[in-house]
Structure 1
Amino acid sequence: MNHTVYGIDIAKSVFQLHWVDQETGEIFNKQLKRAKFLDYFVNLTSCLIGMEACGGAQHWGRKLTAMGHHVKLMPGKAVKAFVMGNKNDAADARAIRMAVQQPGIKAVALKTEAQQAVLALHRMRQQLIKFRTMQSNELRGLLMEFGEVMALGRAALNAAMPGILARLDERLPAFLIETLRERWNMLSTLDHQVADIERRLQTWMKEDQASQDIAEIPGVGLITATAVVATVGNANVFTSGRQFAAWLGIVPGQTGTGGKVRLLGISKRGDSYLRTLLIHGARSVLEHSKEPSAWLQGINPRRPKNVVVVALANKMARTIWAILAHGKKYDRGHVSVKPADLPTAASVHGLVMDHARRRG
């Protein structure tokens, strides 16, 4: 069945549509206000709608899918390659329509509201941790201007702050001392807010079997497990663990010409948040594991530390995919076995001829 293909450039208030009439070949460009956007598609027959994966795209994708349309969210990098001439809303909508019809471009998965709710908690937790780090560094920098330094780490900061404030109270204005004390106390407030979010994630994880299953993998804990399940959703959209690892960007990039291919460092494509969590988890396993696996014991002496960490993160990603795609539990002693080789055309022909001779 042929679908009319729409390219939509979404924004806060104005939406730009681009499509081609299948019968006449006429090209259309249309602007719609936010309030009338869904009304335009409600009575249309099923069509293919392409949108760039940006703010609000998931919401509109769910709404249009509920109407019976097929929605594909395209990565911004893929769309940019088709922008011709000056960049404007009409050019972007045309580029989206062209990109959505290309067979080699992998669309961004459409997430449910439950998945986005969990990811929202992760984003807020990540931001709070960023604020906490900034606040701690600011305190250290300001106190250094008055000759006060302290050891690295949050524990050292908490231990040194009472004595530092007491010494500075004799030299500096009271308004500065009170402000420094307030900023120091703010770190505890941020700690409580981060702990509250982690407690809510823990409650959600108790109700989600998939996140519980992958949390059994060494190096995968509460944060990584819930983030993976909420981000990936259906793992069967990836054909293999290798494809999943490539989507996360923890496989070598490559460059080549004339038949010569040179492998580079990891590509760092895909979701940087998940990749960071897996790398940190792999580093934790490498540093603190009391019973490392035979595979890890074999590769550790032969490769630099960071190479081993990335290789372990890649292995963790493949294990996560296998558990999610096949619905199995984590088995520490599992050994992967290559499938039996399929018979070649020549061997099949030989079997057929041999069977014919026997019957004759």
Structure 2
Amino acid sequence: MKYTTVGVDIAKNVFQLHWVDAGTGEIVNRQLKRAAFLEHFANREPCLIGMEACGGSQHWARRLIEMGHQVKLMPAKFVKAFNIGNKNDPADARAIWMATQMPSKAVAVKTEAQQAILALHRLRQQKIKFRTAEMNSLRGLLAEYGEVMAKRRAALDKAIPSVLARLAERLPAMLIDSLRELWSDLERLDSQIADIERRLQAWMKEDRACRAIAAIPGVGLLTATATVATMGDAKAFSSGREFAAWLGLVPKQIGTGGRVQLLGISRRGDTYVRTLLIHGARSVLFHGKHTGTWAAQLQKRRPSNVVAVALANKIARTIWAILAHDRPYDQSYVTLKMA
């Protein structure tokens, strides 16, 4: 069955559609209000609908798939290459329509449960940023009165009672009370972060995929839950190599005339999951457990950062193999596939 390709530029209130009528060859640009968007596609034959992977796209993709349509979500960077000329809603919809017909790796359409887990991760990251900002603000304010403390949180908690007691003798009470409130906010944020981690832990105990990959050295609570939720369906990737490249765990390359030069790790891919995997690999290398002969030999001839990224790449491939082939982690497993 041949699907009509429709490019959709979603927004807050007004959506722009672009397609070519199969019968007449007419190029159609149509603007729809948010309330009429689903009604329009409910009355159409199944289409291949392309959208940028942006805010709200996952929700609309799920609803359109329920109606029998096919949906292709694409990174905005990929779509941008097809936007020629001025940038406006019709031009964006036309670029999305063109990009939908090009071969590319689509962004996985996630379930509501998977999106909820990623939302918890984003909230946790936000709380950590708030906590770091408040700690720096507290240190900066105290430094104005000659009280300089170490950067570590433990050092701050140990020194702050005596510091505030000394400052209370010469500073207004309203400032001391405000500083104490700022310090109390740190404990409140600690409690909120711990609550989020407990919720993630509860979900991990119920999810079979998370429990399976948590057995891999270097994969903990955050890495397991974030990777499963981000990946979607593991079988959407043809190999572990493709999954690792999708996360951005491969170097950039430049070349001409058949000569290829490998550069550093690019910013492409999922930054959050890539960071978790690299930190997990650093932990494995630091503790020296479960590294294996391969990593030990690599450490002798390559810089530590290169080894950490290489091990993170291997962990990503292992995660894909476990989820795609539905088998438990076995450290002694050796693939029989020829290189």
2:71 matches 1:32: no
Q: Larger radius of gyration, structure 1 or 2?
A: 1
Aligned to 1:302: 301
Following the alignment from structure 2 to structure 1, what is the Cα–Cα distance between the partners of residues 271 and 290?
29
- Determine helix, strand or coil for the equivalent of 2:25: coil
**Rounded Cα–Cα distance in structure 2 between residues aligned with 1:308 and 1:2:** 47
Name the SS for the 1:36 alignment partner: helix
Measured after TM superposition, the shift of residue 319 of structure 1 is 0.9
**Correspondence 1:36-115 to 2 at 5 A:** 36-103=36-103, 105-115=104-114
Q: 1:264 maps to what in 2?
A: 263
Alignment partners' CA distance in 2, 1:304 and 1:152? 28
Q: Distance in 2 between matches of 1:18 and 1:222?
A: 43
CA distance in 1, matches of 2:327, 2:54: 34
Q: 1:139 is aligned with what amino acid?
A: L
The alignment partner of 1:28 has SS state of: strand
1:175 aligns with 2:171: no
In structure 2, C-alpha distance between the alignment counterparts of 1:311 and 1:141, rounded to whole Å = 39
CA distance in 2, matches of 1:290, 1:116: 33
Structure 2 contact 247–271 (Cα < 8 Å) conserved: yes
Distance 1:64 1:174, change over 3 A: same
CA distance in 2, matches of 1:307, 1:84: 39
Q: Distance in 2 between matches of 1:85 and 1:339?
A: 48
Query: Does the 8 A contact of 2:217 with 2:290 survive in 1?
Result: no
Write out per-residue CA displacement over residues 228-258 of structure 1, whole angstroms, 9 at most, x where no aligned residue: 1111121111111111111111111101112
CA distance in 1, matches of 2:290, 2:65: 48
SS of structure 2 residue aligned to 1:107? coil
Structure 2 residue runs of 5 or longer lacking an equivalent are none
Of 290-299 and 313-322, deviating more is: 290-299
Secondary structure, aligned partner of 1:171:
coil
Correspondence for 1:15: 15
Q: 1:213 & 1:292 partners in 2: Cα distance?
A: 19
Change (3 A) 1:4 1:290: closer
SS of the equivalent of 2:130 reads: helix
SS in 2 for 1:87: coil
Q: CA RMSD in A?
A: 1.2
Q: Give, as a single letter, the amino acid of the residue that structure 2 aligns with 1:195.
A: A
Question: SS of the counterpart of 1:335?
Answer: coil
Residue deviations 1:35-82 (CA, integer Å, cap 9, x gap): 111111112111111111110000001111100011111110111111
By how many angstroms is 1:290 displaced? 4.1
Q: Letter of the 1:296 partner, please give it.
A: A
Give, in angstroms, the shift of residue 136 of structure 1.
0.9
CA distance in 2, matches of 1:162, 1:289: 39
Hey, which bits of structure 1, 4+ residues long, moved more than 6 A? none
Q: In structure 2, do the counterparts of structure 1 residues 164 and 230 end up closer, same or farther at CA, with 3 Å as the change threshold?
A: same
Partner of 2:163: 164
Answer whether contact 1:253 1:266 (CA < 8 A) is retained. yes
Return the letter of the residue paired with 1:234: D
Residue type matched to 1:214 in 2? I
Which stretch of structure 1 is more off in the superposition, 158-167 or 132-141?
132-141
Q: Which residue of 1 aligns with 2:128?
A: 129
Instruction: Describe the SS at the equivalent of 1:29.
Output: strand
Is 1:212 the counterpart of 2:202? The answer is: no
**What letter is aligned with 2:81?**
A
Superimposed CA distance per residue, residues 301-334 of structure 1 (whole angstroms, 9 cap, x where no aligned partner)? 2211111111111111111111111111111222
Output the CA distance in 1 between the equivalents of 2:268 and 2:313: 14
Q: Is the 8 A contact 1:224 1:278 kept in 2?
A: yes
SS of 2:188 mapped into structure 1? helix
Deviation at 1:152, TM superposition (A): 2.7
Q: Residues 227-242 of structure 1 correspond to what in structure 2 (within 5 A)?
A: 227-242=226-241
2:115 corresponds to 1:116 = yes
The 2-side partners of 1:292 and 1:20 are apart by: 55
2:141 maps to 1:138: no
In 2: Cα distance, 1:110 partner to 1:237 partner: 11
Per the alignment, residue 352 of structure 1 pairs with none
Contact 1:210–1:229 under 8 Å retained in 2:
yes
Quick one: distance in 1 between partners of 2:55 and 2:291?
42
Tell me how far 1:291 sits from its aligned partner: 5.2
Supply the distance in 1 between the matched residues of 2:303 and 2:143 (Cα, whole angstroms).
36
Counterpart residue number, 1:353: none
Aligned partners of 1:338 and 1:328: how far apart in 2? Answer: 16
* Deviation for aligned residue 1:167: 1.0
Question: Which letter does structure 2 place at the counterpart of 1:100?
Answer: T
Provide the rounded CA distance (Å) in 2 between the counterparts of 1:323 and 1:96: 34
TM normalised by structure 2 equals: 0.97
Checking the alignment, whether the CA contact within 8 Å between 2:16 and 2:30 is kept in structure 1 is yes
Structure 1 CA distance for aligned equivalents of residues 209 and 114 of structure 2: 13
Instruction: Describe the superposition over 1:141-168 as per-residue Cα deviations: whole angstroms up to 9, x where unpaired.
Output: 2211211111231111100100111111
Task: Report the Cα distance in structure 2 between the residues aligned to 1:140 and 1:48, rounded to whole angstroms.
Answer: 55
Cα distance in 2, alignment partners of residues 339 and 80 from structure 1: 39
CA–CA distance in structure 2, aligned partners of residues 308 and 264 of structure 1: 15
Structure 1 counterpart of 2:239, which letter?
S
Aligned-pair identity in percent equals 69
Q: How many residues align?
A: 339
